[in-house]
Amino acid sequence: MATLGTFTLLATFVAAAYAVAASVAGGRLRSRRLIESGIGAFYLTAALMTVASCLIVHAFVTGNYAIKYVQHYSDTAQPLAYKIASYWGGLDGSIMFWVFLLAVFGTIAVATNRERHRELIPYVVATIAATEMFFIFIMVVHNNPFSTYLTGVPAEGRGLNPLLQNFYMAIHPPSLYTGFVAMTIPYAFGIAALATGHLDDAWLRAVRRWTMIGWLFLTFGLTLGMLWAYEELGWGGFWGWDPVENAGLLPWFTATAFLHSVMVQERRGMLRVWNVTLVIVTFFLTIFGTFMTRSGVVQSVHAFGEDRWLAYLFSGFMVLILTFSFGLVIYRLPLLKSRHELDSWASREAAFLANNWILLFSAFFVLFATMFPTLSEAVTGERLTVGPPFFNKWMLPIGLMLLLLTGIAPLLAWRKSTIRNLIEQFTWPAAATMVTAAAVYALGIHVWESVACFALCAFVGVTIAQEFVRGAGVRRGATGTDLLTAMIGLVGRSRRRYGGYIVHLGIVLMFLGFAGQGYKQDEQLLLKPGQQATVGRYTIVHNALTVTSDDQKQMITGQVTVRRGEKVLTDMAPAKWFFNKHEQEPTSEVAIRRTPAEDLYIVLAGYDVSTQTATYAVTINPLVDWIWFGFGVLAFGTGIALLPERAFAFATAKLPAGAVTTGLMLLLLLMPGAVRAQDAQTVNPIQRSELRRQLEQEFMCMCGGCRAPMNDCPMGASCHGKKEMEAKIDTLVAQGMTHDQIKAAFVAEYGEEVLTTPPDRGFNRLAWALPYVMGATGASIIAMVAWRWSRRDEDTPAPAAAAAAPGQDQALAERLDDELRDLD
Amino acid sequence: MSSAISTEAATGKRRAARRPRPAPKVTPEPDAPPDSFQVWHFFVLMSLVGATAAVILSRQSTPEHLVLISFAIGAAGISAMALYRMLAPLATTDADLATEPLSDRLRGDLEREKALTLRSIKELEFDRAMGKLSQEDFDEMAGRLRARALGIMRQLDEGGGAYRAVIERELASRVGAAAVSAAPPVRPAPEAPPAVERPDAAARACACGVANDPDARFCKACGRQL
């Protein structure tokens, strides 16, 4: 079976190489038979990868431990679903899974566009097949998932990492990979358009749908990653700016920018170079993300480990991508000239320009901050940490600015907004912003980030509502129906626009969840059986500790009752699981009580079975579930925008479009959401001073395993390294030392590696200065380009469209008018 | 478009449904009626036989094992089909493949493209009604989209022309072949200029030799009253 698998991979490599050669030769020589043969070879790669995937999954399911990869990532006790998920659980298999997805997606893209974009298809096939070749090459020469033990085949497997044996982790990588892979399709079409010189808007129409699909899967993957971190890592948060998380976020930023700027090209014929650049950068970032997580250049909790050889291979491939792609862009620059110029800063295209600048800045900032420790180590020899506080310092205002633009852009007119227009559009949203800010402040939330976020959410929410109501009003006037019917018709008829607004609504809901993080509450409780403690409005009663086991693991579970006043709300059971063969890596099974207003989040952080004493880390997370719900709305909106013309007629007649996706997301939400459910002595939470809380954010846990800030250490109270550091902080605080003195003492003891943000001096000053430089440079370039555009406007000849209107065929024009009238 | 449909009908190929139809093929049996044995049928059949044999002969009989073995063999069947799909075009000539007229799939694509463009024009009208687009901008942007829509409509209409060329070539080659072999002609040879003959009894032939739709009142080629 292993030999057959290796042979299949080799055959796939040959087929892909043939597809590249035949397609390029066919394209150059205009030979239809070569092109068709190349397409056939391209389909063959997908079929062969399917065979290879079936073989590896078969090996996992039947426990063929002669194959090293199978032995490393599975064992007999593993449930079937996780045996299948083990396929992408390790480095070798994840690369193979990547190629499989790329081959399948590529085949679908080529099959659906083969007629409409005949001139592009040979180069699309060649680009995708060349990308496949690179990954297959890695597998064949370096990471063959089918390599076997020559002697001494183990009788049992090592088993999948316990942290990955989680429902979300089983589907998170496929989703993220699908997003990554889908981004290859727009790149392939972009390269084909550049290679052939067919740089009108046709290639954009071919890739828009694929970008949306890729974007949706990336968002889904990132959301699943957040859910996994929230439920499995047990530190109460969901996003830790880990390099692997960032790897998925980078292309998300640029893909979001592309989805917006593509509209400007379609409507106004502008940003043509920019769009093709975004497509290239997005693809590059997907490869770069893969490089980051697989080569070991960055340290992460869930990177695959260091592999210098792989790092060289990836570096070569990335250099090739950049050189080749931007070489083509430069070669085709004359064909990429803008048709129009920027008329006014108060226009939608200007808002999109600003949004693009911010998104691209975010991508480069996150990339820079993620890579800074590696850079710093290369230059100074000392590895630093760039932790969440550094990211948050920048990304928080950036996020708020993006949210603001989400509200502003739909209100602006294309080309130019007049003052009257602006007043008319902005009155209600601006009023809602102010009222909300005042109301939130009056309700006692005095964290400025949260207040601003709530106010901006109101701004965007009212903007969207206003767009729907006004749009329905116009449609009502045209069709004479009632408001609700008009609104449904509106969404059905302008799916992309209103689907987009629904996506914005999803983003607003997600931001509500982020705003809640500003005033979350966390405490640690040390309780004996029968004792209770109060956190926020909840009283937590510790009843007992139980020790149980099954085939796979031993489970230590804290039995907790939660009350509000005298009323028993629920029973909860946070636990620690020790998987066989992975006893050193216990997993936290968090107990969560979900409500729309807040989550009660309890982790069994420490325990003593002999005395039945338990330490609970209790977090009250306000509004966090709105993030997951927001994703459901976002997926619903994307589904509407993606549905084809015919499908929508069916969907509106039978059931709301995208209902399946939302339903699935809600189902995902509810599954783990089910909460596993006496007079007592009341004790106080473990006392932590404000200074200690602050320092826990600023110091890394130096236990050597988690590489997380002290307040986010996934091992919680059971982490010995952290305990030691906490004790030191308490001692120094008790001695009356100030914040800076304690910080200096820790740096003296542990080195600068202990800090979560790089100190602002020497080479590390670069980390603080560069974002400013990047932002200012980007803004200056955009301002300069826009200024030149607006200047050029004076010399621009009359719009080409007037000439383009072919008046010669009157009959055809009349037919077009008739069809437009019939279109409703 | 209507002319395209009627011309296509004149080829005498009976097709049960207009849409959706199978993708344009590079398979070398263009004359085979769609309900006859196709190449892909062979591969599906072989995969089924292979999967059945594997399931019977398999020593492990857990459901997941059998399902995966069957999938693997099914995928191998698809691979064989793809290999055929890769090699078959090499056995033909560029000319054979280039004669492919406006195919059903391309027609479908163009129809979708047209619908999308018309919808974009409607969106612009909507923007104008919402006060987000001035009349001047509307005229300019809608003008561009209208030009695109007209281009697509023209391409769709001209699809019939491509068919006509193919049919004429086909007829000429058949007639030529028939004359050489002295065999009874498949159909009476048309007078020059080569005309498309319609076997449908209801078709109305014009004096110029062009077949018209049964309900046509004027000839679509020369405009003469029928």
What is residue B11's predicted lDDT score, i.e. its pLDDT? 38
What is residue B14's predicted lDDT score, i.e. its pLDDT? 37
What is residue A653's predicted lDDT score, i.e. its pLDDT? 42
Could you report the per-residue pLDDT of A45-59, keeping only the tens digit for each? 999 999 999 999 999
* Cross-chain residue pair B94–A32, CB shorter than 8 Å: yes
Average pLDDT (A779-807) is 59
Residues of B in contact with A37 (CB under 8 A): 86-87, 89-90
Residues 6+ apart with CB under 8 A from B81: A47, B39, B40, B43
* Cross-chain residue pair A474–B79, CB shorter than 8 Å: no
A766 CB neighbour count, 10 Å cutoff: 17
Alpha carbon of A655: minimum distance to chain B alpha carbons (Å): 23
Check if the beta carbon of residue A712 is closer than 8 Å to that of residue A237: yes
DSSP A478-535: HH---HHHHHHHHHHHSHHHHHHHHHHHHHHHHHHHHHHGGG-EEEEEEE-TTEEEEE
Select from A819, A18, A770, A788 the least CA-distant residue to A394.
Answer: A770
**Burial status of residue B162 (CB atoms within 10 A of its CB: 0-12, 13-18, 19 or more):** middle
Residues 6+ apart with CB under 8 A from A551: A77
* Cross-chain residue pair A809–B150, CB shorter than 8 Å: yes
- Whether residue A796 is predicted with pLDDT greater than 70 in this model: the reply is no
Encoding tokens for residue A681? 């002595």
Q: Is the ipTM of this complex over 0.85?
A: no
Q: Are strands A591-594 and A598-608 parallel, antiparallel or unpaired?
A: antiparallel
**Burial status of residue B99 (CB atoms within 10 A of its CB: 0-12, 13-18, 19 or more):** middle
* Cross-chain residue pair B89–A37, CB shorter than 8 Å: yes
- CA A730/CA A753 separation, integer angstroms: 21
Average pLDDT (A756-760) is 75
Task: Identify the weakest region by mean pLDDT among A198-212, A230-244, A633-647, B177-191.
Answer: B177-191
For residue A54, give the amino acid letter: C
Select from A108, A53, A107 the least CA-distant residue to A85.
Answer: A53
Among partner residues B24, B65, B133, which is closest to A61 by beta-carbon distance?
Answer: B65
Phi, psi for residue A99 in degrees, rounded to 5:
-65, -40
- Whether residue A323 is predicted with pLDDT greater than 90 in this model: the reply is yes
pLDDT grade for B20, boundaries at 50, 70 and 90: very low
ω into A122 cis (within 30 of 0): no
pLDDT grade for B112, boundaries at 50, 70 and 90: confident
Higher pLDDT, A40 or A789: A40
What are the Cα distances from residue A595, in Å, to A205, A590, A627? Answer: 42, 16, 13
For residue A545, give the amino acid letter: L
Residues of B in contact with A478 (CB under 8 A): 129
For residue B48, give the amino acid letter: L
Select from A22, A25, A38, A33 the least CA-distant residue to B98.
Answer: A33
Could you write out the three-class secondary structure of A421-462?
HHHHHHHHHHHHHHHHHHHHHHCCCCCHHHHHHHHHHHHHHH
For residue A46, give the amino acid letter: A
pLDDT grade for A255, boundaries at 50, 70 and 90: very high
Average pLDDT (B186-191) is 44
Alpha carbon of A290: minimum distance to chain B alpha carbons (Å): 28
Range with top average pLDDT, A195-209, A543-557, B204-218 = A543-557
Check if the beta carbon of residue A617 is closer than 8 Å to that of residue A603: yes
Task: Identify the weakest region by mean pLDDT among A77-91, A101-115, A620-634.
Answer: A77-91
Range with top average pLDDT, A419-423, A646-650, B99-103 = A419-423
DSSP A527-590: E-TTEEEEETTEEEEEEEEEEEE-SSEEEEEEEEEEEETTEEEEEE--EEEEETT-TTS-EEE-
Closest-CA residue of B relative to A498 is: B123
Residues of A in contact with B144 (CB under 8 A): 269, 799-801, 804
DSSP A357-404: HHHHHHHHHHHHHHHHHHHHHHHHS------HHHHHHHHHHHHHHHHH
Residues of A in contact with B140 (CB under 8 A): 799, 801-802
Residues of A in contact with B3 (CB under 8 A): none
Average pLDDT (A651-675) is 44
Task: Identify the weakest region by mean pLDDT among A57-71, A215-229, A745-759, B192-206.
Answer: B192-206
Select from A551, A549, A594 the least CA-distant residue to A575.
Answer: A549
Residues 6+ apart with CB under 8 A from B223: none
Question: How many percent of chain A have pLDDT more than 90?
Answer: 32
Best mutation target among B144, B148, B157, B158 (most A Cβ atoms within 10 Å) is: B144
Average pLDDT (A296-325) is 77
Query: Is residue B92 within 8 angstroms of chain A, CB to CB?
Result: yes
Best mutation target among B146, B156, B158 (most A Cβ atoms within 10 Å) is: B146
Residues of A in contact with B116 (CB under 8 A): 205, 645
Alpha carbon of B39: minimum distance to chain A alpha carbons (Å): 14
